[in-house]
Amino acid sequence: MNKKELISFQNVSFSYETDTENPKTVLQDISFSVMEGEFLCILGHNGSGKSTVAKLSNALLLPDQGRILVDGVDTGDEEQQIEIRKKIGIVFQNPDNQIVASIVEEDVAFGPENLCLPREEIRSRVDAALKAVDMYDRRFHETHRLSGGQKQRVSIAGMIAMRPKCIFFDEPTAMLDPKGRRSILNTIHRLNREYGITVVYITHFMDEAAEADRVMLLSDGRILKTGTPSEVFTQTDLIVRCGLELPDPAKLSFELSELGIRLTPGVLTEQDFIDAFQRFMKESQ
Amino acid sequence: MPILEVRNISFGYGLHTPFAVQAIDNVSFSIEKGECVSVIGHTGSGKSTLMQMLNGLLKPDRGQVLLNGKDINETKKTAAAARFRVGLCFQYPEYQLFGETCAADIGFGPKNMGLAPDEIRARVQKAAAIVGLPSEKLEASPFDLSGGQKRRCAIAGVIAMEPEILILDEPTAGLDPVGREEILDMIRRCRAEQGATIMIVTHSMEIAASISDRILVLNKGKLHLSGTPQEVFADTQKLHEIGLDVPSYTRILRALRDKGFDLPDAYTLPDAAKLLCRLLKEGGRT
């Protein structure tokens, strides 16, 4: 992809509780870019620093060392921080913490209202955003009667109505059931494809990362690997060491290797496993 | 006599309103002492409603919940007592932590049971040991714990009441693989060391298969299937009907069997690996 750099982390380090005796270092000298229009997935276990990356990207947090450029502007520039936050949005994990209004369309209008936009503009943005997440039919519903997945879609609509260039999704499906997970993931992919919104998707579910353009593996505040999903996922040892979960067929292949049976590396899907196992049987006879 | 018996219970929300939902519809089952039973079903299938009826938080519209043969809803007093006897741990219990220290938080339940301070202290220690919370953490704020530790601290708060049945609603949701294994180990320890009777609500077929003696499958408030993991996963058709599936390991083994390999069913990772290993040693096709 020879597109423009939207976000650039340059040798960024960050610690929490720097004013105490034991600061907790979360990110150590990391550098990476998010390209305009791409779908980047950041994979890491709990506490790997994933969420901190999101908060640094729109100046909710500022780096201790290094710098972060958004569209060429340093996030440390206080006068530009409002502009940066308009460009980079974050959707968090818990749908219940992100709903502010009792009616769906009022909740989505909250952001645009705070941008002091004219009424007609707010109306059209809210309608468009709700249509984008398939919640337009429920625009008059009460938010507290929605399912978790529906609430999360409303949160996303609230973000879209702000018209950001890029949205960080911080484990948006962690609290949803398998059906809700799938629908949110489809919605996010559609936003990326059809609306051209740059997506940074943070998760520890490997199966959710499989459809991303690029995957970045984060562990203990360092980037261990960046590449296409198949480049990263074939490094099964690395992934297990990061405390991440392999897809089930890969786990079975890994378990067999522990028992001394080494199938062809790179098993990800059930079909991969079946093929690799058959091949192994043929060769061992 | 089963420790818990549910006889034809039904429950509806918002009856006589436009939002009326029949959450549970004529469900019956029983649980023996020391059993571990998983409850599986989609969101809205009635799992959480069912769990809340088991400890008297909700009263069934029809039917009975018998604990050791006695209806828990006989009087208000017995319903209140059921809340201590059946320990219900909600989803994301760490959001309910509030104590200044972990010890205070875990001890809250026993304190409300009116136990003596010495007894409370002993129970807190014991519960922390069961969930694997290091004793030096007991004096720390629960908010300084890691995600997995917070979850286990919250579960310890229920265990400290020494309930006759422990119900865990989605105990591994939102945890990473390490945190999840810790919770599953804790459940196995509870069973092995305490002989605990446990019910687990989960979305994961693998967890249900690896940890439980029996599985109850709920769909739209009705009991759709129940039995041992073998029995439930044998009925693929009936699982597919409601959009559920057998564990992926089972699917892989069955696909290999269709290719002519001599493999029985297995439902968990270690069992599947063992079977494949044995097959390789024997080197045999049928």
Q: What is the DSSP string of A143-156?
A: GGGS-HHHHHHHHH
Same-domain pairing of B100 and B159: yes
Same-domain pairing of B78 and B36: yes
Handedness of CA A60, A62, A63, A64 (dihedral sign): negative
Same-domain pairing of B284 and B218: no
Distance from CA of A33 to the nearest CA of B (A): 26
Same-domain pairing of B38 and B52: yes
Are B255 and A148 in contact (CB < 8 Å)?
A: no
Same-domain pairing of B266 and B188: no
* pLDDT > 90 fraction of chain B, expressed in percent and rounded: 74
Whether the model clears a pTM of 0.95, i.e. scores above it, the answer is no
Domains and CATH numbers, chain A: 5-228 (3.40.50.300), 246-285 (no CATH)
Beta pairing class for B70-71 and B62-67: antiparallel
Same-domain pairing of B34 and B135: yes
Handedness of CA B48, B53, B55, B58 (dihedral sign): positive
Are A280 and B280 in contact (CB < 8 Å)?
A: yes
Are A244 and B178 in contact (CB < 8 Å)?
A: no
Same-domain pairing of B241 and B251: no
- The DSSP letter of residue A103 is B
Same-domain pairing of B194 and B275: no
Q: Mind listing the pLDDT tens digit for each residue in A25-58?
A: 899 999 999 999 999 999 988 778 888 999 999 9
Per-residue confidence (pLDDT) for residue B14, from 0 to 100: 86
Mean pLDDT of B199-225: 94
Mean pLDDT of B250-266: 93
Same-domain pairing of B185 and B44: yes
Boundaries of domain holding B279: 247-286
The yes-or-no verdict on residue B263 having pLDDT over 60 is yes
- Measured between CA atoms, the residue of chain A closest to residue B92 is A175
Residue ranges of chain B whose CB lies within 8 Å of a chain A CB: 19, 42-44, 92, 146-148, 173-179, 203, 206, 243, 247-249, 251-252, 255-256, 259, 261, 269-270, 272-273, 276-277, 280, 283
The string over B170-196, giving b where at least 16 C-beta atoms fall within 10 Å of a residue's C-beta and e elsewhere, is bbbbbbbbbbbebbbebbeebbeeeeb
The yes-or-no verdict on residue B173 having pLDDT over 90 is no
Q: Mind listing the pLDDT tens digit for each residue in A85-121?
A: 999 999 988 888 889 999 999 999 999 999 999 999 9
Same-domain pairing of B35 and B125: yes
Q: Which of B147, B252, B277 is the closest to A273 by Cβ?
A: B252
Helix (H) or strand (E) holding B57: none
Mean model confidence pLDDT for chain A = 90
Q: Which of A46, A171, A179 is the closest to B179 by Cβ?
A: A46
The yes-or-no verdict on residue B286 having pLDDT over 70 is no
Q: Cβ(B3)–Cβ(B165) under 8 Å?
A: yes
Per-residue confidence (pLDDT) for residue B284, from 0 to 100: 53
Same-domain pairing of B24 and B109: yes
Q: Cβ(B168)–Cβ(B89) under 8 Å?
A: yes
d(CA A199, CA B166): 42
Locate all alpha helices (DSSP H) within A63-160, ordered by sequence: 81-87, 104-114, 119-132, 148-160
Domain count, chain B: 2
* pLDDT > 70 fraction of chain A, expressed in percent and rounded: 99
Same-domain pairing of B160 and B195: yes
CATH number at residue B147: 3.40.50.300
For every residue of A41-62, DSSP letters joined together read: EEE--TTSSHHHHHHHHTTSS-
The yes-or-no verdict on residue A1 having pLDDT over 60 is no
The yes-or-no verdict on residue A243 having pLDDT over 90 is no
Mean pLDDT of B86-93: 92
Mean pLDDT of A174-200: 87
Are B174 and A47 in contact (CB < 8 Å)?
A: no
d(CA B283, CA A284): 8
Q: Which of B176, B243, B273 is the closest to A204 by Cβ?
A: B176
Residue whose C-alpha is closest to residue B204's, from B41, B92, B37, B52:
B41
Where does residue A160 rank: exposed (0-12), middle (13-18), buried (19+ CB within 10 A)? buried
The yes-or-no verdict on residue A2 having pLDDT over 70 is no
Region of B221 (left: φ > 0; alpha: ψ -120 to 50; beta: rest) is: left
Which residue in B250, B274, B280 has the most chain A C-beta atoms within 10 A of its own C-beta, making it the best mutation to test that interface?
A: B280
Mean pLDDT of A250-271: 87
Mean pLDDT of A130-138: 91
The yes-or-no verdict on residue B22 having pLDDT over 70 is yes
Strand A214-219: give its sheet, edge to edge: A88-91, A166-170, A198-203, A39-43, A214-219, A222-227
